[in-house]
Structures are given as structure tokens and as C-alpha cells.
């Protein structure tokens, strides 16, 4: 029997039982669609985070507190994880390091702002005027705060574009008043939209105040020695090739300032953008594997459904198999017929699942969550993987029923009622 004839017979058999075939393919459709959607969401999240870090510049390094008691000196990647160890005096001591062009201390926390009856929650940064250059922001209107504002602990604030739009709409926010922690702050500037997101937060959904104002009026925090603490210190390198030498000099200065002995572990860590991206890549990779594993359960259920239906089909068509063998059909012809039928179920179900997954991924990309869109990325490798898996499931699930049909004795099959 020709391969084309087997396909025709398989399609006719499926169309003869439309409802049963549709329900059988449903498991494959859901499984393939889930795999594509979840994997695309994971890829989109990784791409968004990577793009956000790359926008900060590859020549930006950060110093953050670390926990020397933890295994490997685990770094504090979020505020408040490790005890504060960095201070403004550390920042001033590092300004003389050769190979650094700009340096900025950063404190961060979440804050709720109110203005004219509107309320908005955003990420708060306490920083110095070097913030613009190091993190590569620019001013859309007004101005950024100056060293004078820092020295005076002034109640001034610069708003991210999303915060300004949410609180004031199309009105110019500069000169307006906002309230944070029951204190009034004057808006002196609005940042240009930067776009992108980092760790799930929009880069435009933030507000910046002088670091001294942050420490004295909003979220005071001190080190073990009683000094005002900073959460992190970011700086730009004049030359990426000097990264290792600059890091060694920074470590030497901070170890001396923190009175660390030769055998003491650092209570800080110097982190490059590449290291951060590597950590993010590992996290999103695990995330992708977990999501893919969850979606694969649907594919397993779908494969069991195909096997079950093919076994039922073999039983129902026992006399047909006996007649075909009696008129000269060989075992390989019967085997091929049922394998093609099972593969067709997987093929059609996989195709519909791929289309459904792509459409659902596109729909997720259109959802706006507080100005942040998760661009689910449907790549060709995900589609090919899902398609090959669905075809393999169809063949693997139909193999045993096909072998069972091929081994039927034609005389017993003809007598089957």
C-alpha cells in the first residue's frame, strides 16, 4: 500500500468519527498551546529584563552589601536583605579611584504619592545629581536636583514619566506639590520616558529625591557603626578594560575603611552588568523549565488520549483488519495505516495548538499592566519544538495500538463480532 493511500484512509477514519477525533486532539491542542504560550512569556520576560540592564550601560558597576556569614557571601540583590554596610563616607572615599567617571549612592524603597486626590505607588530612589549620568536618564521638563538640594536636605522630587502622567495627566507637573509620608515635596523635574522594565518594574515608574532627604525624612537607616547607610553605590568606568584593576582598588579601599582583616570576608560585593545578566538568565532559565514542565503535563494527558482512542479504533475495526489481510494486506500495511492515523491526530492537533499558542501570546503582549507590557516572544525554535513533540506523541501513542492491529490473526479477525 502506498503511503498516500494510508493518509487518505486515516483521514477518512478520523472524519467518520468527528466528535471523538476532536476530543482526542483537544489534549494535544491544549498541551502545545500551553507550551508555546508559557515558553514565549518566559522568553519575553528574559528579553525585557536583559534589555533594561543593557540600557543602563555595560560600563556601569555597582557595589552592594553582602552577607559574609552566608555560604559564598551571598549578595543582597534587594533592599533590606543584608545588613547595611555602605555609607556616604564610602562614596566620598571612592571618588578618588582612577578609572571612575561618575559615582552615585542609591537608596531605594517603595513609596505612595498623593496629589490632587490622585494616589500612585512607585519605586523611590534617594540619590545625588550624578544619578542622571550613571543611570542614563535625561530631563523632559524642569531640572534635576543639585548639590545644594542635597546639602539642604530639601523636600524636592523628580518624577518618572509614568508617575507624572498618572498624578497630573497632561498638566505640567513642575512646580506642583506631592505628598509622601505626610510630607509635602515640590516637583522640580520630570524624567524623559526610558521605556523597558527591570525585575517586573517599569523604569519610568519611579521618583527620585536627594539622598540626604531620603535618609533624614523618609526612610532613615543606619549601619552598625551609627552612620547613615546607602543601599548601593553605582559608578561608570572610563574604560571597560580597567574593570579588574578598578574593582581591586575599590575592594582595597572599602576593606580598609570597614576594618576587615586579611582572613575576613567582604561585607560588600562589586557587581558588573554581565554578572547581573548571568544571574537573571539563570533565574529565567529555571522559570522557563518550570513553566515548560507544567505545560508538558497537558501533552502527556493528550498522548494518553490518543493511545486510548487508537486502541478503541483497533477493537472496532477488527473485522476490517481481517478482511484487508485476507485480500493481501501485509502486516506493515496495517501498522502503517494506524501509525499514520495516530500521527495525523498529533499533526492536526499540534498545528491548531501552535496557532492558538501564538494568538494567545500575541494577546498577552497587548495587555498593559500599569504601563508595563510583557512582550511574549514566539520564536521559531519554540514552534519547531512544539510541532516535533506533538508529531512524536502521535506516533509514540499510536505505536502499540498499531502493532496490536498488525499482529491480529486474519481468521480470528474475520470471526470477531
- CB burial readout 127-144, b (16+ within 10 A) else e: bbbbbbebbebeebbbeb
pLDDT of 412: 57
pLDDT bin (cut points 50, 70, 90) of residue 80 is: very low
How far is 84 from 256, CA to CA, in rounded Å?
Answer: 17
* Top-ranked range on mean pLDDT: pick from 115-124, 218-227, 273-282: 115-124
Q: Locate cell 519554540: which residue?
A: 382
pLDDT, averaged across the chain? 79
Mean pLDDT value of segment 299-311: 75
* Minimum mean pLDDT range among 196-205, 249-258, 263-272: 196-205
pLDDT bin (cut points 50, 70, 90) of residue 184 is: very high
* Minimum mean pLDDT range among 47-56, 259-268, 378-387: 47-56
pLDDT of 410: 63
Secondary structure (3-state) at 27: helix
pLDDT of 142: 92
pLDDT of 261: 82
pLDDT of 183: 92
Phi, psi at 159, each rounded to 5°: -100, 145
Helix (H) or strand (E) holding 4: helix 3-16
Amino acid at each position: 500500500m502506498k503511503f498516500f493511500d494510508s493518509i487518505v484512509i486515516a483521514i477518512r477514519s478520523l472524519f467518520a468519527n468527528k466528535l471523538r477525533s476532536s476530543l482526542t486532539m483537544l489534549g494535544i491542542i491544549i498541551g502545545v498551546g500551553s507550551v508555546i504560550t508559557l515558553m514565549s512569556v518566559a522568553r519575553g520576560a528574559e528579553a525585557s529584563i536583559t534589555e533594561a540592564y543593557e540600557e543602563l550601560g555595560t560600563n556601569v558597576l555597582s557595589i552592594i552589601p553582602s552577607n559574609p556569614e552566608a555560604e559564598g557571601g551571598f549578595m543582597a540583590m534587594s533592599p533590606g536583605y543584608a545588613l547595611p554596610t555602605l555609607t556616604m563616607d564610602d562614596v566620598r572615599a571612592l571618588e578618588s579611584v582612577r578609572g571612575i567617571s561618575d559615582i552615585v549612592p542609591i537608596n531605594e524603597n517603595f513609596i505612595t504619592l498623593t496629589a490632587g486626590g490622585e494616589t500612585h505607588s512607585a519605586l523611590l530612589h534617594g540619590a545625588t545629581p550624578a544619578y542622571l549620568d550613571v543611570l542614563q536618564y535625561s530631563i523632559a521638563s524642569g531640572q534635576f536636583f543639585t548639590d545644594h538640594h542635597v546639602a539642604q536636605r530639601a523636600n524636592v522630587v523628580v518624577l518618572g514619566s509614568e508617575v507624572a502622567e498618572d498624578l497630573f495627566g497632561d498638566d505640567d507637573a513642575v512646580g506642583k506639590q506631592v505628598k509622601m509620608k505626610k510630607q509635602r515635596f515640590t516637583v522640580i523635574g520630570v524624567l524623559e520616558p526610558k521605556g523597558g522594565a527591570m525585575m517586573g518594574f517599569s523604569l519610568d515608574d519611579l521618583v527620585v529625591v536627594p539622598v540626604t532627604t531620603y535618609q533624614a525624612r523618609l526612610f532613615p537607616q543606619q549601619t552598625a557603626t551609627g552612620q547613615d547607610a546607602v543601599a548601593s553605590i553605582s559608578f561608570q568606568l572610563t574604560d571597560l578594560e580597567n574593570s579588574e584593576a578598578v574593582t581591586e582598588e575599590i575592594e582595597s579601599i572599602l576593606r580598609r575603611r570597614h576594618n576587615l582583616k586579611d582572613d575576613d570576608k567582604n561585607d560588600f560585593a562589586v557587581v558588573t552588568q554581565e554578572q547581573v545578566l548571568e544571574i537573571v538568565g539563570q533565574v529565567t532559565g529555571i522559570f522557563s523549565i518550570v513553566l515548560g514542565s507544567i505545560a508538558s503535563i497537558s501533552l502527556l494527558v493528550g498522548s494518553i488520549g490518543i493511545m486510548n482512542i487508537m486502541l478503541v479504533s483497533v477493537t472496532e475495526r477488527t473485522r476490517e483488519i481481517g478482511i484487508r489481510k485476507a485480500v493481501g494486506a501485509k502486516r506493515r500495511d496495517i501498522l502503517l495505516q494506524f501509525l499514520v492515523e495516530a500521527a495525523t491526530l498529533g499533526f492536526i492537533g499540534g498545528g491548531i495548538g501552535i496557532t492558538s499558542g501564538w494568538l494567545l501570546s500575541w494577546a498577552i503582549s497587548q495587555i498593559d499592566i500599569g504601563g508595563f507590557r510583557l512582550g511574549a516572544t514566539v520564536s521559531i525554535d519554540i514552534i519547531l519544538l512544539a510541532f516535533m513533540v506533538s508529531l512524536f506523541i502521535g506516533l509514540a501513542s499510536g505505536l502499540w495500538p498499531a502493532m496490536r492491529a498488525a499482529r491480529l490473526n486474519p481468521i480470528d479477525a474475520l470471526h470477531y463480532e
